[in-house]
Amino acid sequence: MAFHVYILASQTKVLYIGATSNLVVRVTEHKDHVVAGFTKRYNVDRLVYFEEYSEAIVAIEREKRLKRMTRTNKIALIERANSKWRDLANAL
């Protein structure tokens, strides 16, 4: 089983970081605004970055590290892997 840490962005680059055991389902939930909360309120639904791990605990620890990073470092991480901020959900 794979576990993912992911970053979503809005059109105005509001960022959200999460971890999941089913990236396709979770991103679809964000896109469909199924769950009330931050991503629905700020229309944060473009998958701009993700990493895959084989262990849940490793993914959760990485999620925590990403959340502690500065916004500048988060943006740099995204831009190294996805300079045009394309929605990577289409490739899943």
CA–CA distance, 66 with 37 (Å, rounded to integer): 20
Contact between 3 and 21 (Cβ < 8 Å): yes
pLDDT in tens, the chain (92 residues): 999 999 999 999 999 999 999 999 999 999 999 989 999 999 999 999 999 999 999 999 999 999 999 999 999 999 999 999 999 999 88
Contact between 26 and 92 (Cβ < 8 Å): no
Domain containing residue 15? 3-91
How high is the pLDDT of residue 35?
86
Q: What is the CATH number of the domain that holds 13?
A: 3.40.1440.10
Number of domains making up the chain: 1
Take residue 54 and report the two structure tokens written for it.
């084989």
Contact between 50 and 23 (Cβ < 8 Å): yes
How high is the pLDDT of residue 11?
94
DSSP 88: G
